[in-house]
Amino acid sequence: MRLSTDFIVVGTGVAGLRAALAIASAGARAVVLTKDRADESNTEYAQGGVAVALAEDDEPVLHVDDTVAAGAGLCDAEAVRVLVEDGRRYMSELIGWGAEFDREGGRLQFTREAAHSRRRILHAGGDATGSEIVRSLLARARAEELIEFVPYAATEGLVVEGDVCAGVRFLDPLTRSAREMRARAVVLASGGAGQLYLHTTNPAVATGDGMAMAYLAGAQVADMEFVQFHPTALNVEGAPRFLLSEAMRGEGGVLRNADGKRFMPRYHAGAELAPRDIVSRSIVAEMDRTATRTVFLDMTALAPRYVRSRFPKIYETCLRLGLDITREPAPVSPAAHYFMGGVRTDLDGRTTLGGLYAAGEVACTGVHGANRLASNSLLEGLVFGARAGRAAAADRAGGAAPIAHRAVVNDEETPDAGRGSGGEIALAVRKRVRRLMWERVGILRSRQSLGRALSEFEQIAGARLRTPSRNFLTVATLVARAALWREESRGAHHRVDFPARDDARWRAHSIQQRDAEIGAGETVSLVEAMNSQIG
């Protein structure tokens, strides 16, 4: 394992892998760190597909319009244009590299999801799109001699010298001791933070460490109040909140209440294909109205053979839990799914901290605004991962060789003597934070609920916490603080005490930086401001 290199990439989802490939194509070395195995990431669990305007009846401008509409007034127009236009090129490149998307009669097969005006969602293996993208990118990356993978190496902090990111602190995968790796620059592609919530569709690795590390190192984060809750996570007692893809509703699935009655047409003209935030809140309202804890996703009107072939992973998973979705509706309820906010970047992944780049769910480019359009996340990771890797290699080309590594001890952590009880403390902290986030900073928010959450977070922060717990608590605090600051309802952020959208006062991005008061940046000038500030 190299402990000094040209560039460090944190994360092996679509954004991290594509960034590493861009760095290698520029002739530089990249060490890719991940806290689990190389193929474990949020990308791996993405079922529905990837949105791209490649169908004959589709146009890039329609994809732009749908993305902007879902973003509830906070999308940055230039970022969306880059996503859609570059997305066509990078998806064609990925297919050329061997990614196998589902076809019919030799032609790419497109499906439709909520808030899309066209059938533009490519899928692979029915409902295994993310897995196929990771497979093809990993195969390409492993063939590159300039890319080295280091699995089971959890990154816990950034090394900053002279206001420039010069490397990372991580746990050695063999000794579990703290180590330091130096590089010309670091690309964060560590994914989201769904594990902050008691109920989530995200894997265990999605703990928000990248967001916390960047913030604690002095980089700006933006739009942290916007957390998307997926409407249809499987709700079976004792089972994980397995995601039931948006595409199931796109293919004709309907939502029914405990009485077996379809209810979405009463809440929105788009019914089951309304934007995710609306469907999630409608489900919460319907559960409250019927005094139940679940609703049901009904696929029984579709041919059983079609359901089994279109959604094989979902079908098999439900069947193992004793549920045949071709014969009976599946119990579902919302769960935390995706972070629109993150480390603030320009269109090439540059953050406000020199030497630090970010891409994918850990970053906030302004693409998603207040609410992500379904299946835009894989495309964002692909496009902005490539752009961040390319920019890092170009910006730092010919830089000085990294300083030799050294073993480090984080003086903010609890001493090793406390390791016996430290695990129990960390587990207790995580459980408490997750419940507070779900109950106080969840789908429905208020000044009272957010204030109580922040008060408890402050009490927890008074204890001596190890780095993972401190990172976890930091991200939770950033979300709650931004949610309290935004006194309106917009997209995925809903305040019961401010239920209306207020463009006159709140059409702005929340921006947070360590040791500074929360502030705002105008929507229309976020990218321009970033380019001016960094360039």
Q: Which positions are annotated as active-site residues?
A: 276
The most distant pair of C-alpha atoms in the chain lies apart, rounded to whole Å, by: 68
286-290 CB contacts, 8 Å cutoff, 24+ apart: 286/257, 287/333, 289/257, 290/257, 290/258, 290/259
Q: Smallest Cα–Cα separation from 369: which of 506, 512, 468, 257?
A: 506
Judging by beta carbons within 10 Å of its beta carbon (0-12, 13-18, 19+), is residue 278 exposed, middle or buried?
A: buried
Judging by beta carbons within 10 Å of its beta carbon (0-12, 13-18, 19+), is residue 119 exposed, middle or buried?
A: middle
Q: Smallest Cα–Cα separation from 127: which of 299, 372, 367?
A: 299
Instruction: Write down the H helix ranges in 396-466.
Output: 419-440, 447-461
Question: Can you read off the two tokens belonging to residue 280?
Answer: 């999630």
Per the CB < 8 A criterion, the answer to whether 345 and 363 are in contact is yes
Alpha carbon 47 to its chain centroid, in Å, reads 14
The residue count for the chain: 535
Give the three-class secondary structure for 438. Answer: helix
Per the CB < 8 A criterion, the answer to whether 183 and 166 are in contact is yes
Give the three-class secondary structure for 493. Answer: strand
How far is Cα 231 from Cα 48, in angstroms, rounded to an integer?
13
Question: Can you read off the two tokens belonging to residue 514?
Answer: 């360590």
How far is Cα 294 from Cα 330, in angstroms, rounded to an integer?
10
How far is Cα 492 from Cα 373, in angstroms, rounded to an integer?
11
Q: Smallest Cα–Cα separation from 224: which of 414, 488, 524, 492?
A: 492
Which amino acid belongs to residue 364? C
Cα dist. 207→211, 236, 258, 419 in Å? Answer: 9, 23, 33, 21
How far is Cα 214 from Cα 212, in angstroms, rounded to an integer?
5
Cα dist. 439→10, 168, 198, 442, 450 in Å? Answer: 31, 34, 9, 6, 10
Q: Smallest Cα–Cα separation from 378: which of 392, 391, 393, 368?
A: 368
How far is Cα 208 from Cα 227, in angstroms, rounded to an integer?
12
Judging by beta carbons within 10 Å of its beta carbon (0-12, 13-18, 19+), is residue 294 exposed, middle or buried?
A: middle
Question: Can you read off the two tokens belonging to residue 310?
Answer: 């279109």
